Structures are given as C-alpha cells and as structure tokens.
C-alpha cells in the first residue's frame, strides 16, 4: 500500500509538472517585451520641456503690461505737443500751424479755476506759477467762468474736447502742462519768452480789483445781465457781460 501511494503521488507530481511545462492543451504565449524604461526616457523629456515652456509663456504673458487705449492716446498727444514745442524753440521765426491772432505781444493761458478734477486744477496752478516766475504779461482765460473762452479755444485747436491748461506764446501754440514743465526744466521756456514786455510791478501781487479772479461784475447791468431799453420800454439782455453777468477785469486783463 505504501508503494502504491508513492507511485500515485509521484505520478501526480510528474503530471502536474508536465502540464505546466510541456502540455500542448494549454499553450503559453510569450508576452511581448515592454521596455518601459526606454519609453519613459524617450517621452518624458519632451513632455517636461513642453510643460515648462507653457508655464514660462503663461508667466511671461502675465508680466507683460498691455498698454491701454487711453495711455496710447495720451502718448500720441504728448508727442505731438512736444514736436510743436520743439519746432517753436528751434525755429521761433517759422509760423506755428496753430496760431492765436492778436496775441503776439503776450502769453495766453486757457485754464479752469474749478477744483472738481484735482489733476486738472493742479496742472493749471503749476503752469500759472511757472509763468509768473518770468514776470511777463499773461492773459489768463478761465473757461469755467466764460463760455466764450471755451468756444474760442475749441475753434482754434479744431477739437471737440481738449485738456487744460493750454498755452500760447507770442500767438503760437505751445502745449499743455507737461510740455511747459519740460520746457521750463530744460531752459527752453526762457528762450520762448525772450522779447516779451516785463511787468514793472511784482507778478505775485494780487489784483485789487478782482483778487486774481480776472473777472468783475458788469458795470452796465451790475451783474444782473439785463438792462432797461427806454425806446422799447422793456428789459433786454445786457450786451457787455457774459452768461454770468461778468466782464474781464480792466486792471489785470488785456
């Protein structure tokens, strides 16, 4: 019995061994060799480089500031004003393309006394102080007080909207606050103002009549903007004053 059991066990063992190794009923197909290390080596560098490049492009695009349309318009306008001022300083005898007739013996400044827009008010104040330093006669036209000054400026510059202040020297258009500041820093503003009459009194002295407002109430209508016409026996609009019942100060305005 022992011998028979040993034979059975050995035959089972040998059968299992032959099935697993040489049996034709269950053929074992060899798996294709997959070289994972080689595929990683070939594809990984390209994918990593691509990711790095895409990240670099994203960060570089974020760092580059995009110019706004308002900034580009301001730069083009500033360049045009600078070119105009350079032509005035280099060739003062050549007529400027924009001129203000009847003001060849003075400086004309269009500004506003309103403080609604702080930047505009500060620019107007700075330009007025710079011109006062040279003690020349400056005709200051406040467009916020007289609408006729605003219409005149728009018609001369041929624009629908303009920034303030705007300066004319000897009847020639110079530019705004940025141009005047640059000319003053480089010393070219003194050359442009050379030959203009200088005030005998101090330029910093406040006008006794208007207090440097440059306008006074109309003497004809006392600021009411209405006068009585005896011929027609009715009230009419005063022809001397503006829409606010004011006239230019006779002491400090030309």
What CA–CA distance (Å, rounded) separates 188 from 88? Answer: 10
Tens of pLDDT, residue by residue over 193-230, are 999 998 877 767 888 889 888 999 999 999 999 999 88
Which of these, 222, 230, 231, 167, lies nearest to 193 by C-alpha position? 167
Instruction: Specify the 3-state DSSP secondary structure of 140.
Output: strand
pLDDT at residue 14 is higher than 80: no
Tens of pLDDT, residue by residue over 44-97, are 445 676 666 776 676 565 555 555 555 555 565 555 555 544 444 444 445 568
Instruction: Judge whether 236 and 247 are in contact, CB under 8 Å.
Output: no
Q: What is the band of 119 on the pLDDT scale with cuts at 50, 70, 90?
A: very high
Instruction: Calculate mean pLDDT across residues 93-118.
Output: 86
Instruction: Calculate mean pLDDT across residues 118-132.
Output: 95
Instruction: Tell me which long-range contacts 76-84 makes (C-beta under 8 A, separation of at least 24).
Output: 78/178, 78/179, 81/174, 81/175, 81/176, 81/178, 81/179, 82/175, 82/179, 82/182, 84/173, 84/174, 84/175, 84/179
pTM: 0.62
Instruction: Specify the 3-state DSSP secondary structure of 111.
Output: strand
Biggest alpha carbon distance in the chain? 160
Which residue did the predictor score with more confidence, 27 or 214? 214
pLDDT at residue 39 is higher than 70: no
Instruction: Judge whether 246 and 215 are in contact, CB under 8 Å.
Output: yes
Tell me the domains of the chain and their CATH numbers: 74-193 (3.40.30.10), 206-254 (no CATH)
What per-residue confidence (pLDDT) applies to 248?
93
């Amino acid at each position: 019995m022992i011998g028979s059991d040993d034979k059975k066990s050995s035959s089972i063992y040998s059968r299992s061994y032959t099935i697993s190794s040489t049996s034709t009923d269950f053929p074992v197909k060899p798996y294709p060799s997959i070289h994972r290390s080689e595929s990683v080596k070939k594809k990984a560098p390209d994918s990593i480089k691509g990711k790095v490049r895409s990240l670099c492009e994203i960060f570089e695009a974020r760092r580059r500031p995009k110019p706004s349309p308002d900034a580009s318009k301001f730069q083009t306008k500033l360049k045009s004003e600078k070119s105009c001022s350079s032509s005035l300083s280099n060739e003062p005898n050549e007529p400027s393309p924009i001129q203000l007739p009847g003001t060849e013996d003075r400086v004309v400044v269009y500004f506003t006394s309103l403080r609604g827009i702080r930047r505009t008010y500060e620019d107007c104040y700075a330009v007025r102080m710079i011109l006062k330093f040279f003690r020349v006669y400056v005709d200051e036209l406040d467009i916020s007080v007289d609408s006729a000054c605003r219409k005149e400026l728009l018609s001369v510059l041929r624009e629908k909207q303009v920034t303030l202040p705007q300066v004319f020297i000897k009847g020639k258009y110079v530019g705004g606050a940025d141009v005047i500041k640059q000319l003053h820093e480089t010393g070219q503003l003194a050359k442009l103002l050379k030959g203009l009459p200088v005030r005998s009194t101090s330029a910093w002295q406040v006008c006794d009549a208007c207090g440097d407002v440059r306008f006074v109430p109309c003497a004809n209508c006392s600021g009411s903007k209405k006068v009585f016409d005896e011929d027609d026996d009715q009230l009419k609009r005063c022809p001397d004053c503006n829409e606010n019942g004011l006239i230019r100060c006779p002491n400090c305005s030309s």
